[in-house]
Amino acid sequence: MKWIWQLPNWPQFTFDTSKFTHFEREFHRNAGVIIGSLTAVSADEVNELRITLLSNEALDTSKIEGELLDRDSVQSSIRKQLGLQTDGRRAGPKETGVAQMMVDLVRSYQEPLTQEHLFLWHKMIMNGRIDLETIGGYRAHVDPMQIVSGRLDMPKVYYEAPPSDRMEVEMNQYIDWFNRAAEAQIPTVVHAGMAHLYFELIHPFEDGNGRIGRTIAEKALAIGARQSLITSLSSAIEQDKKAYYQALERANTSLNITEWLIYFSEKILEAQVYVQTMIAFVVHKARYLETYSTQLNDRQMKVALRLFQEGLAGFKGGLSAENYIRIAKTSRATTTRDLAEMVELGALRKQGKLRHTRYYLPIQEVANKEP
Ligand SMILES: Nc1ncnc2c1ncn2[C@@H]1O[C@H](COP(=O)(O)OP(=O)(O)OP(=O)(O)O)[C@@H](O)[C@H]1O
């Protein structure tokens, strides 16, 4: 079998342009709605939203690769990068690295893509790794770069990327294409989708290609939408990883990439819905704190903030009295009184009975709209 980069016309991708008019229109319409809804929130809330979106994206892009990072450390690291107040927590190398890359993405999205920048991102996300030959540079190993999966004794090769000695040429061509496409204002959904696939097909780094490739797609979306708010692409992809891998597998043999671009455009629109839900979440949180800051005692506020920290998904299975005792560090009698008061005030919703009783923030009605 010939790999895609061995085809005579590589890397001249083709696609049916007419299929993307609708996606492109929807993308810009949603981007407009997102910008519009930001005008209704305060600068602090916009900052809060940025941190939430960036940390979700950092966590989810890592989760796609099976890497579970610590949410609090990622958030704290992002705050630090943005020059905001932190809780002083020391983040691990993985959390720090991906946080640095996300913040750099939004800071530099208007700049052209460069090799130096890609190397910088690679250095950031490979922070602390000692098992790689090349960090902050393209791969140089002589053995083939294969995407393999399955049993160790019977591996299946899903894809083999071009040999390492072609990386410089392939990537110069790629970077040139990315920047020209941005200037030529090709449809944003096409630019982002092609940028991701084309990068994965070259697979220029020893490791981290998935994460850097999704970051490049985010850059294309930010350029198209003319705003630095990320689109949460990884959060949308992570909802159905199998479909992502299948779409990549189907796309890695033919230069006609219409089907891949349709898959990716759908993900982009889903991701925008997610961003809109997140904006609603941040606004709700701000209103909640405004309403209840004088009505809740310190213990109750601590628990409410802890619940908000869980983001859209909320506290898994709802908050129990035991959770309250642990978070507020208080007695059962006080817990019973505090919880009843919060329900009475409308600061918590109660579900279930006796030992199955669970409490939810009233905001979780919004949360259920998560993709
Ligand atoms: N069949 C395929 N053809 C082309 N690209 C693929 C295919 N399957 C997966 N990929 C891409 O390869 C990425 C994995 O590459 P790589 O391991 O270098 O990235 P990563 O971000 O470091 O992930 P990990 O943390 O698992 O090492 C996937 O996230 C996906 O984007």
Average pLDDT over residues 132-138: 95
Q: Is the pLDDT of residue 369 over 60?
A: no
Q: Are residues 261 and 313 in the same domain?
A: no
Q: Are residues 149 and 183 in the same domain?
A: yes
Weakest-pLDDT range from 70-84, 108-122, 156-170, 308-322: 308-322
State if residue 211 touches ligand 1 by the CB under 6 angstroms criterion.
yes
CA of 344 to the centre of ligand 1 (A): 50
Please give the number of the atom of ligand 1 that sits closest to the Cα of 67.
Answer: 25
In CATH, what number is assigned to the domain containing residue 65?
1.10.3290.10
Rank 199-203, 278-282, 347-351 by mean pLDDT and report only the highest.
Answer: 199-203
Q: Is 109 annotated as a binding residue?
A: no
Domain boundary at 277, 302, 331, which?
277
User: Does the residue 287 lie in any domain?
Assistant: no
Round to whole Å and give the CA distance between 337 and 348.
Answer: 13
Q: Is 213 annotated as a binding residue?
A: yes
Please give the number of the atom of ligand 1 that sits closest to the Cα of 211.
Answer: 21
Q: Are residues 129 and 85 in the same domain?
A: yes
Q: Are residues 266 and 315 in the same domain?
A: no
Q: 3-state DSSP helix/strand/coil percent for the chain, to nearest 5?
A: 65, 5, 30
Q: Is the pLDDT of residue 358 over 70?
A: yes
At residue 206 the predicted structure's pLDDT band, cuts being 50, 70 and 90, is very high
- 3-class DSSP state of 147: strand
* Cβ atoms of residues 200 and 210 within 8 Å: yes
pLDDT digits (tens, 9 = 90+) for 247-260: 999 999 999 999 99
Query: What's the pLDDT score for residue 370?
Result: 42
Q: Are residues 101 and 250 in the same domain?
A: yes
Select the more confidently predicted residue: 135 or 49. 135
- 3-class DSSP state of 359: strand
- What is the pTM for the complete model shown? 0.88
Query: What's the pLDDT score for residue 143?
Result: 94
User: How many domains, in total, are found in the chain?
Assistant: 2
Picking from 358, 295, 290, the residue whose alpha carbon sits closest to that of residue 324 is 358
Query: What's the pLDDT score for residue 105?
Result: 96
Q: Are residues 247 and 302 in the same domain?
A: no
State if residue 48 touches ligand 1 by the CB under 6 angstroms criterion.
no
In CATH, what number is assigned to the domain containing residue 319?
1.10.10.10
* Mean model confidence pLDDT for the chain: 92
CA of 208 to the centre of ligand 1 (A): 8
Q: Is the pLDDT of residue 17 over 90?
A: yes
Query: What's the pLDDT score for residue 368?
Result: 45
Q: Are residues 211 and 303 in the same domain?
A: no
Average pLDDT over residues 309-332: 89
Round to whole Å and give the CA distance between 18 and 351.
Answer: 49
Q: Is 245 annotated as a binding residue?
A: yes
CA of 210 to the centre of ligand 1 (A): 4
Query: What's the pLDDT score for residue 166?
Result: 97
User: Does the residue 72 lie in any domain?
Assistant: yes
Q: Are residues 36 and 133 in the same domain?
A: yes
CA of 200 to the centre of ligand 1 (A): 7
* b (16+ CB within 10 A) / e for 152-177: eeeeeeebbbbebeebeebbeebbeb
Q: Is 210 annotated as a binding residue?
A: yes
Q: Are residues 311 and 172 in the same domain?
A: no
Please give the number of the atom of ligand 1 that sits closest to the Cα of 213.
Answer: 31
State if residue 159 touches ligand 1 by the CB under 6 angstroms criterion.
yes
Establish whether 356 is a catalytic residue: no
User: Does the residue 102 lie in any domain?
Assistant: yes
Torsion of CA 166, 3, 173, 262, to 10 degrees: -150
* Cβ atoms of residues 194 and 217 within 8 Å: no
Q: Are residues 302 and 233 in the same domain?
A: no
Query: What's the pLDDT score for residue 138?
Result: 98
Q: Are residues 220 and 301 in the same domain?
A: no
pLDDT digits (tens, 9 = 90+) for 212-266: 999 999 999 999 999 888 899 999 999 999 999 999 999 999 999 999 999 999 9
User: Does the residue 8 lie in any domain?
Assistant: no
Question: What is the sign of the dihedral through the CA atoms of 214, 220, 226 and 231?
Answer: negative
Phi and psi torsions of 257, nearest 5°: -110, 25
Question: In the structure encoding, which two tokens stand for residue 132, read together?
Answer: 């790689």
Domain boundary at 249, 277, 305, which?
277
Q: How many CB atoms sit inside 10 A of residue 99's CB?
A: 27
Q: Whose CA is nearest to atom 13 of ligand 1?
A: 210
Query: What's the pLDDT score for residue 1?
Result: 65
Q: What percent of the chain stands above pLDDT 70?
A: 97
Q: Are residues 241 and 109 in the same domain?
A: yes
Q: Is the pLDDT of residue 301 over 70?
A: yes
> Annotated catalytic residue: which of 191, 196, 203, 284?
203
State if residue 252 touches ligand 1 by the CB under 6 angstroms criterion.
yes
Print the domain residue range for 83. Answer: 15-277
